[in-house]
Amino acid sequence: MAQAEPSRCITSALPLQWRPSGRGIIGHPETTRNKGRARAAIAWVGTASLLGFLAFTTDFAAAWEAFRGADYVLFTLTAVFATLGGYVVDTLTLRYLLGAVGIRIGVREFLRVKGASYLLNIVNYNLALVLMAAVVKRRTDRGWAAAGSPFVMLNFVDLAVFGALILIAVAAGASPFDGTATLAISVVAVGALSGVPVLAAFSRLTTGPAWLVRIASHNLLEAFRRIAPRDLAVSLALRSLLIVLYAVMNHLFLRSFGTHISVANLLVYMPILSLVGFIPISVSGLGSTQVLMRRFYAAHVPVALATTEACRVGIIDAYSTSSILSVILIRILIGLACTPSVTRMLATPEPGEASA
C-alpha cells in the first residue's frame, strides 16, 4: 500500500478488538504433545507471515501519527482495569461452572491456575486447557476426558452467549452489515445458541442405537449431563457479563484513538474476530485478527481524523497492535506471578501418591 503523506492524516487512535482466549478439546498430554508442538509451530510461522503482510501494507506515517495522538490515560486505564477485571470475572464464572458440575476448587487456587493458563495460552491454547484440566484431575478422581469436559462445555456456553448477544443486537437494529450478511450471521447465531441445550439433551440419551448411546455417555460430555438447567442459565448470564466487559473494553480502546464504535456493533464484530483468533494460525490473534479489523473498523474512523483510506487503515493498525500487545503484556505479568505456585502444586505428590 502506498504511503500517504502525514499532513493529510489528522491524528487519531486505532480501535482494538478484544479476543477472548480460545480453548481446545483436551486429550491425554502424552497423546497431544506432538499435535501441540505442530500447532505452536504453525501459529508462530503464521504470525510472522501475517505481520510481514501488515508491515508491507501499513502506512507507518499514519499509524505513528495515530499512536502519538492517542489518549494515553484512557488507553492505560482501560488496558489495566479491563484486563484485570476480565481476569477476575473469567475466573469466578469458570469456577461457578466447575462447581455446578461437582468440582470444588478454592477461589485463590483457581485465580492462580487461571493466571498461569494465560501465560501458557500465549504459546498454545491447548497447553492452557491441559493445565486447568490437570488441576481438576488432581483435585478429583476423574480421568482426563471427564476433567476436560467442563472446559469443552465452557466453549459452547461462550458460543451460546455470543449467539444470544448477536441476535439481541440484530433485533435492536445494531448490525453493522447489510441485509444478506446480517441474515447469515443471525442463522449462525441461532446455531451457536442451540449448541448447549442440544448437547445437554444428547448427553442424557439412554435409548437408541448402541453406538449412539456410547457416544452420548462419553466422559467428554459428563459436564453436560451433570449441570442443572438453573446452573446453566446462571452460567450463561455470568459469561454474558464477561463478554459485555470485553466489548466495553474494545469500545474504550477505540475511543482512546478517536474512533467511536458502539458496544452493540462490537458485539456483532467480536464473534467473527474471536473465531478467526481461535484458528491456530497466529499467536494471540496477532496478524490474523488485525487484517480483519482493517475491514471492519476502518469505515468507522471519522473523516475529520483521516482523509484517505490509507490513513484510516493506519489508525486501525496502530490501535490493534498497541491494544493486543498491551493485553498480552499484562497477561504475561499475571502468568509470571501465578505460574511458580501452580507448578509447585502440581509437582507436589498427593498424600496417597507419596505413600504409594
pLDDT at 26: 47
CA separation for the pair 205, 249 (Å, rounded): 41
More confident residue, 173 or 190: 190
37-59 burial by CB neighbour count: b if 16+ within 10 A, else e?
Answer: eebbeebeebbeebbeebeeebb
pLDDT at 140: 85
Contact 28, 85 (CB under 8 A): no
Q: What is the mean pLDDT of residues 249-259?
A: 96
pLDDT at 90: 93
Q: What are phi and psi of 235, to 5 degrees?
A: -60, -40
Q: What SS3 state is found at 306?
A: strand
Q: What SS3 state is found at 17?
A: coil
More confident residue, 42 or 108: 108
Q: What is the mean pLDDT of residues 33-45?
A: 61
pLDDT at 51: 63
Q: Answer yes or no: is pLDDT of 249 > 90.
A: yes
Structure confidence at residue 272 as a pLDDT band (50, 70, 90): confident
1-5, 26-30, 125-129: which is most confident: 125-129
Structure confidence at residue 282 as a pLDDT band (50, 70, 90): low
pLDDT at 172: 86
309-342 burial by CB neighbour count: b if 16+ within 10 A, else e?
Answer: ebbbbbbbbbbbbbbbebbbebbeebbeebbeeb
Q: What is the mean pLDDT of residues 327-351?
A: 87
pLDDT at 2: 40
CA separation for the pair 36, 128 (Å, rounded): 11
pLDDT at 216: 95
Contacts (Cβ under 8 Å, ≥6 apart) of 253: 15, 16, 75, 78, 79, 319, 323
H/E stretch holding 275 reads helix 263-278
The one-letter amino acid at 147: A
Residue with cell 502440581: 346
Q: Answer yes or no: is pLDDT of 97 > 90.
A: yes
| Strand spans (E) along the chain | none
- Written as one string, the DSSP assignment of 90-109 is HHHHHHHHHHHTT----HHH
Worst-scoring range by mean pLDDT, 85-89, 129-133, 242-246?
129-133
More confident residue, 274 or 84: 84
Q: What is the mean pLDDT of residues 75-84?
A: 97
The one-letter amino acid at 246: Y
Q: Is the pTM of this model over 0.85?
A: no
Q: What is the mean pLDDT of residues 103-127?
A: 84
CA separation for the pair 25, 253 (Å, rounded): 32
CA separation for the pair 146, 136 (Å, rounded): 9
Q: Answer yes or no: is pLDDT of 188 > 50.
A: yes
